[in-house]
Amino acid sequence: MKKKLLATLLPIALSAAYSNPALAQEIAPAQNDAAPADASQTVVVTGFRSSLQKALNLKQQAIGVRDSIVAEDIGKFPEANVAESLQRVPGVILNRDESSGEGQRISIRGLPTEYSVTTLNGAPVNTTSTATIGSAARGFNYDVFASELFGRVDFYKSPLAELTEGGLGGVVDLQSPRPFDNPKRTVRYSVSASYNTASEHTDPTGFALYSNTWGPVGFLIGGSHSSSVNTRSGFEATGGYNSSANGSQSPVKGNFAVALDYDSPRANLGGYTRAQIDNAFLPRIYRYYGSANDRTRDGLVSSLQYKKGDLDISLDTMYSKLKNQRDEAYFGILVRNSRTTNRNAPAGQAGNSGFIPLNVHIDPSSNLLTGTFGNTSYSSGVTYSDDETEFGYAALNANWKVSKDFRITSQVSTNRSKAERYQDTLSGQIFGIDSTIDYGTDHVYPSMSSPVSYTDPNNFQGFGIGTDFTREIDRGKQARVVADWDYALAGDWTGHLKAGAVWVETSKDIHKRNGTSLATARLNALGNAGLRAGMTSQLPIDNLDMGDGWPHAWGTFTRDFTYSTFDPVAYNPLSAFTPAQSFKAKETITTAFVQSDFKGQVFEKELRFNAGVRYSRTETDIDNYKQQGASLAYGPNTEKGSYSNLLPAMSAAFDVTDTLMWRASWGKTISRASLGIIAAQTVIPNQFDNTATAGNPNLKPQQSKNLDTSLEWYFQQGGLLSVAAFRKVLTDATVANTTQTTFGALGLPDTALGPIFQDANGRVDPSLPMTLRSYTNAGEQTLKGYELAYQQSFNFLPDPFKGFGALASFTHIDPFNSQKWITNAGKEIKVNSVPKYAYSTTAYYENGPLAVRFSWNYKGRSLHGDTPRNNGDDLIRWRAARGYLDGNISYRINDSLELRIDALNLSNTLAYDYFEDATGKYGSGKKTRMDYAKYDGRTIKIGIRGKL
């Protein structure tokens, strides 16, 4: 593979090295943006500094709170992923895809990801990928797209009447390139090899763009391809820790049920009392996890543009396809729901699964129970999944300058995102053996041993299969027309009026199938002998890191055997449709807005302000399925709703001095509730937890009154030091409410709850207490915080040090959804469901042909899940704080050839959750009671790029 890649790169590099040099890059104001007032201060720079300078010019010219990321040149975005670029904007927190490690979604100022709106050239778009397929959440997955497909990203944190409503956190506008952005012939290319240190796999990445203009006509087309294989490895407790003292109660307290078998003749408590062992913690599952994600992404962008005199017309298109093939393997001890009620039952199986303490140890600092146990059961499992997201977009734009002071712009666009995922999970078990477990000093790779062979298929039984299919389709149509009018006011004041009308229709279609029962029938027909014959001791994933204390081989199943035996396409037919989790929802939004900019002198300093109002009416049509009649069978159901919103907005920017600017804004915004909450029916998300959730089709959008203010000091060309404060007061917030009911009142089948709630006949007691969580509009909540930003090129240093520069941002959030977590003793603890702070730092060096850049992005810890709840174990589940170090080095031989090395996750960050003991008695748990602790490895890209 490496030889083939070099054979491809070498001739391109040689041809580029001896071609004619292209013209030097210069700072140029973006189309329709005013040039800096003092042209004498414009400095010709290139590369990353050029991108920063362009972005800073746009920020300084804006009236509201806006940040921008600008391509260094056409087809030359500064980062490989748009979301990773956005994380250096103050207030933006990046959420990464757990499979590939790429940036996927963004959270703005601590608000959930669906509180932001993403537009493409001004048109709202939605798309999803990987684990978010089927979640029905609003939002945009940036990993679907290569960054080279975009020329600029504008990020609005304060409301403007002209901006699409729905982004309570903010609006991100992605702008695709057009030929007249750079009206000359341009051919740009890049080719690289991507190597992941965990998978030890090398993959190609390439991009090519052609743009040219011929008089009034221009054409641009660009294509990208990338592939990667990322391997993850680590430890999983799969949901928490618990003690026998909690887990033996009914209904279960804690995250799962567990009761040690003290009555066995083999039981030996050593020097511990039964109470000490009963109260010590065991993980729900004690297992190793490894995965390999094979990703390919192909993209295409094009623009046909006519620009002559006062008329500018363009047809823009974009297409992207993201495919993931994911292999997951796990092996470990099942602790959950183990107890012995019938010693005559088979060892390790139902009725006789209680662990027998033989030689145990309790760690006094973490209260973890380790050592040797009898009657343990092992589970070996694989999950093979495939997902694909296909996105298409087309827009016809027209811009007509009717007169010197009057302009009309219009756009008609359509977009569609189709995401599908199907998967198989196949497992086998070894029942009732002795095992020794120990976390050691590294809880990411603990140890496990047993006298039984893990690789002998004859030791496995208790096989299980699960399979499902999910499809999520987003469609969008938009038409808008906007008029701009420049007018004069009294004195030296001028105005710019903008008014428009917008029509948007979006729809979401969630379709789920679960063919587990069909696949289980096939599994039962094969029997133990047939499944054992399909096992192998060769692990399906290469280069897994699992530590010295873990078995390095065990009985498992290959992808070929799993898919050929339980084809997830064949075993998830239409007859396996699951109506409780499927729906269609359409929203039709009609909007009108009017706003005006004003500019003039106050105390001989320039004041710019904007005032406007936006009116929108939303009509919702939902087609889902509801249980009906005496049989409670699901049948088609229709829900309708509508609401209107009037959203005023005002912003101002005042030049306090020639270098100091004060900025402020106030306005109302909304965020529509998740369609998964609006359209969902009553379901039990976790069959081992007696909690159900129900949707509410009558939810109104959340409204927020937003106040932003900042001081910005532009102390030198390309230099900024700023401080900003923000406050959002939310009303009609979507709030989860819980009520107590019974299982019989929910109308759900007995299989909705797991075996621990079922009797010998598989029936659940209708009077079983249940907690029903539903959602309503209620109350008022406040989100506030502050942001700091710094940017500077160190031009004052002598050569060769004047090429150094830095930028940094810090965001502190007083989360509006900080909530109370209550211990068993009734003590209230305040917990934050979003990080309280996040920061980003970048240091760079650009001097002549050499450029070096390193970035560190960090976010604090946050509560796992939106609703804190003590399950009875006094353990708070946190998502640990984490930071990522990225970097790149480039050397420009000439404008036609640049050698480049990019590195992602140089820190090889450990991503994990952990369980903190709320009583403080057993430590924080940060490095002990970990869950889903995974390493992704480092990704290194080596390649070339340039112009021809």
* Count of alpha carbons within 13 angstroms of residue 207, beta-carbon side: 26
As a whole-number percent, the residues of the chain with pLDDT over 90 amount to 58
Q: What is the pLDDT of residue 15?
A: 36
- Statement: residue 314 has pLDDT above 80: yes
Between 108-112, 571-575, 887-891, the lowest mean confidence (pLDDT) is in 108-112
The residues that bridge with 723 in the sheet, in sequence order, are: 711, 788
Q: What is the pLDDT of residue 734?
A: 72
Q: What is the token pair recorded at 936?
A: 């992704």
Q: What does the pLDDT look like over 465-492, one tens digit per residue? A: 999 999 999 999 999 999 999 999 988 8
Per-residue pLDDT of 784-833, as tens digits, reads 899 999 999 998 899 888 899 999 999 998 865 567 888 888 888 888 87
Q: Do 371 and 437 touch, CB atoms closer than 8 A?
A: yes
Q: Would you place residue 44 in the very low, low, confident or very high pLDDT band (cuts 50, 70, 90)?
A: very low
Q: How far apart are CA 175 and CA 856, in angstroms?
A: 26
Reply yes or no on whether the pLDDT at 27 is more than 60. Answer: no
Q: Stretch 149-153: mean pLDDT, rounded?
A: 87
Q: How far apart are the first and last CA of the chain?
A: 26
* Lowest-confidence pick of 61-65, 380-384, 572-576, 944-948: 61-65
Say how far apart CA 35 and CA 41 lie, in whole Å: 11
Closest CA to 433 of 533, 330, 358: 358
- 70 - beta bridge partners? 152
DSSP, res 579: G
pLDDT beyond 90 at 290? yes
Give pLDDT, residue 22.
Answer: 31
Q: What value does the mean pLDDT take over residues 711-731?
A: 92
DSSP state of 528: H
761 burial level (CB within 10 Å; 0-12, 13-18, 19+): exposed
How do residues 530-564 score in pLDDT, each as one tens digit?
999 999 999 999 989 888 999 999 999 999 999 99
Cβ–Cβ < 8 Å for 412, 395: yes
**Angle, CA 146 vertex, CA 144 and CA 150 arms, to 5°:** 110
Burial (0-12, 13-18, 19+ Cβ within 10 Å), 244: buried
Q: Tokens 């009416």 appear where?
A: 617
Phi/psi of residue 294, nearest 5 degrees: -100, 110
Would you list the DSSP string of 732-776?
S-EEEEEEEEEHHHHT--GGGS-GGGB-TTSPBPTT-EEEEEEEE
What contacts 42, CB < 8 A, 6 or more positions away?
27, 36, 717
- Residue 32 is predicted with a pLDDT of 39
Please say if the pLDDT value at position 46 is more than 70: no
- Over residues 57-95, the pLDDT tens digits come to 888 888 888 888 887 766 667 666 777 778 878 888 888
Please determine, for residue 400, whether its predicted confidence score (pLDDT) is greater than 80.
yes
**Amino acid at residue number 37:** A
| pLDDT at site 686 | 62
Quickly state the pLDDT bin for 377 (edges 50, 70, 90). Answer: very high
Average pLDDT in the 360-368 region?
Answer: 94
- What is the DSSP secondary-structure string of 24-44? PP---PPTT-PPPS-GGG---
For residue 114, the SS3 value is helix
Asked if the model's pLDDT at residue 260 lies above 50, the reply is yes
Q: What is the mean pLDDT of residues 103-116?
A: 81
Under DSSP, the state recorded for 73 is: B
Residues in Cβ contact with 387 at an 8 Å cutoff, skipping those fewer than 6 apart? 129, 130, 133, 323, 324, 326, 419, 420, 421, 422
Question: What is the average pLDDT across 896-904?
Answer: 91
> Does residue 750 register a pLDDT over 90?
no
Q: How far, in Å, are 162, 469, 502, 619 from residue 591 at the CA level?
A: 10, 37, 5, 12
User: Could you tell me which residue, 31 or 152, shows the higher pLDDT?
Assistant: 152
Q: What is the mean pLDDT of the chain?
A: 87
Paired residues of 476 in beta bridges: 415, 506
Supply 634's token pair.
């699901």
Distance from C-alpha of 865 to C-alpha of 838, rounded to nearest angstrom: 19
Mean per-residue pLDDT for 326-344?
Answer: 93
User: Which phi and psi (to 5°) does residue 868 adopt?
Assistant: -70, 135
pLDDT at 303 over 60: yes
